Structure 1
Amino acid sequence: MADRVTVIGWDGSPLTDTARAALGAATLVAGAAHHLALPEVPHAAERIRLGSLTLAARRIAAHRGTAVVLADGDPGFFGVVRTLRAPEFGLEVEVVPAVSAVAAAFARAGMPWDDAQVVVAHRRTLRRAVNVCRAHPKVAVLTSPGAGPAELGLLLEGVHRTFVICEELGTAREQVTVVTSDKAPDHTWRDPNVVIVIGGHTAAGTAPEGGGWIAGRDPAAGPRGWVQPDERYAAPGDAGSVTGTGHGTGAGSGTGPRLGEGETQLLRAAQLARLGPRVGDLVWDIGCGSGAFATEAARAGAAVIAVDHDPGACARTESAARRHGVLLQVVRGAAPHVLENLPEPDVVRVGGGGAAVVSAVADRRPQRIVTHAATRDAAERVGRDLSEHGYRVECALLQSVELDTRAWTETERNVAFLLTGVLADRAP
């Protein structure tokens, strides 16, 4: 039985001496069709066309002889090495790497990629890969059949992006094409391919001139804190209240810029904690008001669609996103009707619209829904509706009191019933 396997990366360049020696001694070679057609593959070797990596690994482990696996690019980067190293196969893995497909794609585009997000798109992960493309200005997508450039373009409807599509890198049929995302579904693309997705303004967290310190988005970029003070979301020069569409819970006479009622910093922090938006998620923020919650969710790396019927709220949300260097989509319209054509959400905050909107959201079956109410009766109505939709309901009465620390006197008091619905069959 084989206890050792050599994995050779191939990027179209001539094989190294080490790779040639390993391949020449192989009695079993596994790879894609174009790998098995290489002239260096021994004629007498058993050949396995890679489909299921698990099945291939079992055959390699059971083989009596010397095994080699050929893979595109760097096989340790979203490649076969992880599968082959699983303890159940008992294989010792030696790797001869090559240039990864992602590095080659960015090289063809003449772009740096240390500030890019890298995702793999299969049929089961396509939606999450698209959400990363919504939320980040530079993404490399390693595609697969049925989850390629055309499917990416279709799911990005309403969001403008530029695609750099690199087909069959390293081969004589290599081709690099630049198209807008809405045009990608009009073509048939050859596999394998890598799609570089570019779009939106420069976001906070991209590498500064001269390079950054961490690959991908810098988690330390921007101001410290999971949520920002309300004044950071007031329009520049606005010292008064920013009226949102959320249902109000505020009271008191606080000074300085204020957001709409129900948009306080502490309530927003509690809502974010309950929803837990993360990279790959799509968040709906219904009744976005000032854009504070939508911006905070986008700062967490999630894709966000902010919805409001008020054109002023939409403009404030777009402005807040620009100031904080995040990408999000703003949709103007009245809920629940405007929600019908939106892509499926993972988590939803309902900031306005009451029980009717919460019910319409629950019909779409997101993992979590968070909302708030000003009275116990309203909270009970929403809670009952969420329960009837199969959600486990949690409710907390939140009260915050702002104090002037010079005299330790109360300046503002806010009270809200915070409701969270968790869908049992989709809970992570």
Structure 2
Amino acid sequence: MITVVGTGTGAAYDTRVLRGAGLVVGGRRHLDAVRLPEGAERVVLGPLEPALGVVERYVGKGRRVVVLASGDPGFFGIVRALAERFGPGRLDVRPGVSSVAAAFARLGLPWDDAVVVSAHGRDLRTAVNVCRARPKVAVLTGPGAGPAELGAALARTPSGDRVLVVASALGDPARERVERVTPAQAAERDWGAGVSVVLCLDEARALGGVRTVAGPVDGPAGWALDEGAFAHRDSMITKFEVRALALARLGPRLGDLVWDVGAGSGSVAVECARLGAAVVAVEKAADGVERIRANADAHGVDLAVVHGTAPAALSGLDDPDAVFIGGGGRELPDVVGACARRARRTVVVAVAALDRVPAAREALTAAGFACDGVLLQSSRLAPLPGDVTRLAATNPVFLLWGVRPPATSEGVAQ
């Protein structure tokens, strides 16, 4: 039997659980805090595989093993690796209080509406993008993915009124600290190795509403919203038929970063944000910038708006997973090329002018994308006097999309 004990966030556990153990496994601080049974072997957790090999040897001999872990070991913890290796039936899990629960408790906040993301041994990009997109996020940190790195990434692109709450040494009366800082302030600090968890909050929305299902808010019931759902100028908006296919090709999801370049009204940006992605809308017109912000507020989503002209305005942004490009001026090939060189997955281009299509397609293929496209023409039902209906044609639009082949997806500029 392998007994897995959660420790370290303020909830005491019965040390008698160690009696009779032939092997005790845990982090150095966990092992230093307990008295091992006489004759028990001690293994300090570092790389997981060697430790699991020792555990397997003891289990094979019928010897008892105790694993000491932080907080709730079934919550982004060692229980998964142990269950995969030895089977859930061999585990006796005795959870403590998770660092996420403890951190929110210190603030007096509920966390059934929080999104929890682990950056421990994982790419920090996903955590950063979730923090940009959601108002209440808990980030489990690790080496190279701590408060400083998270703060630096969030500070590069406006992320709303976010505050970082850095909780360190939770459960240790002498060392515990819970500090509120801005992303920029977090980036300037050396936080050491004692960080338990980082909360990223929009404090104005930290309480949220009553939930039935824990975790991220439900996705939208539909997309490709009618143009009337957005403020726009002189019908300068991506029509819903075009938006529907563009969204299907972009595939926006929680953890992604999407650029909407030449955003206009921001209808594509808002829809991507409604589907969970972090979004940066780039728009050169000042009145367009305000319109995008108003549409984001009207739909209750977070997105960053950059006032500038592409491709120059893209230089300081983090690399996106997917890009939507609207408009079609003379600079279109340069914009498509700049976006394609940095996009990790997909670039979608909407073009009204036939003359712009070959150059846009060439820019996608030159960047190594597999390119495809379609001419979208639709006719909508429109009423006529006398209670009859006609078909009203919308302007045709070319939609091109480039998809980066999987073999080259890791070669994007960092």
Normalised TM-score (structure 1):
0.87
Q: Do structure 1's residue 419 and structure 2's residue 383 form an aligned pair?
A: no
Query: 1:400/1:129 Cα in 2 relative to 1: closer, same or farther (>3 Å)?
Result: same
Say which is worse superposed, 296-305 or 380-389, in terms of deviation: 380-389
1:30-49 to structure 2, matched below 5 A, reads 30-49=25-44
Partner of 2:217 in structure 1?
Answer: 218
SS at the partner of 1:21? helix
Distance 1:200 1:395 in 2: 43
Post-superposition CA distance 1:367-400 (Å, at most 9, x none): 1000122244422221122112110011112111
Post-superposition CA distance 1:176-202 (Å, at most 9, x none): 111111101222213232111112764
Q: Is the 8 A contact 1:11 1:73 kept in 2?
A: yes
SS at the partner of 1:156? helix
1:89 Cα offset (Å): 7.3
Percent of aligned pairs sharing the same letter: 43
Aligned mate of 2:175, from 173, 176, 179: 173
Q: Is the 8 A contact 1:156 1:181 kept in 2?
A: yes
Residue identity in the other structure for 2:67: V
Aligned mate of 2:305, from 318, 330, 337: 330
Residue identity in the other structure for 1:229: D
Residue identity in the other structure for 1:164: V
Partner of 1:254 in structure 2?
Answer: none
1:413 Cα offset (Å): 1.9
Distance 1:339 1:202 in 2: 30
SS at the partner of 2:394? strand
Partner of 1:139 in structure 2?
Answer: 137
Distance 1:412 1:390 in 2: 35
Aligned mate of 1:384, from 342, 362, 381: 362
Aligned mate of 1:5, from 2, 13, 19: 2
Distance 1:51 1:67 in 2: 17
Query: 1:103/1:411 Cα in 2 relative to 1: closer, same or farther (>3 Å)?
Result: same
Residue identity in the other structure for 1:414: N
Structure 2 residues without counterparts, runs of 5 or longer: none
Post-superposition CA distance 1:133-184 (Å, at most 9, x none): 1111111111112111011110011435211111011113111111111101
1:119 Cα offset (Å): 0.6
SS at the partner of 2:46? coil
1:264 Cα offset (Å): 0.3
Residue identity in the other structure for 1:395: G
Distance 1:34 1:268 in 2: 54
Structure 1 residues without counterparts, runs of 5 or longer: 236-241, 244-258
Q: Do structure 1's residue 369 and structure 2's residue 347 form an aligned pair?
A: yes
Q: Is the 8 A contact 1:30 1:36 kept in 2?
A: yes
Distance 1:366 1:374 in 2: 26
SS at the partner of 2:357? helix
1:245-394 to structure 2, matched below 5 A, reads 259-260=235-236, 263-352=238-327, 353=329, 354-394=332-372
Counting helix residues as a fraction of each chain, which structure ranks higher? 2
SS at the partner of 2:184? coil
SS at the partner of 1:269? helix
1:426 Cα offset (Å): 5.3
1:324 Cα offset (Å): 0.6
Distance 1:294 1:376 in 2: 25
Q: Is the 8 A contact 2:258 2:277 kept in 1?
A: yes
1:260 Cα offset (Å): 0.6
Distance 1:229 1:179 in 2: 40
Distance 2:310 2:57 in 1: 59
Normalised TM-score (structure 2):
0.90
Aligned mate of 1:410, from 391, 396, 404: 391
SS at the partner of 1:184? helix
Distance 2:344 2:101 in 1: 36
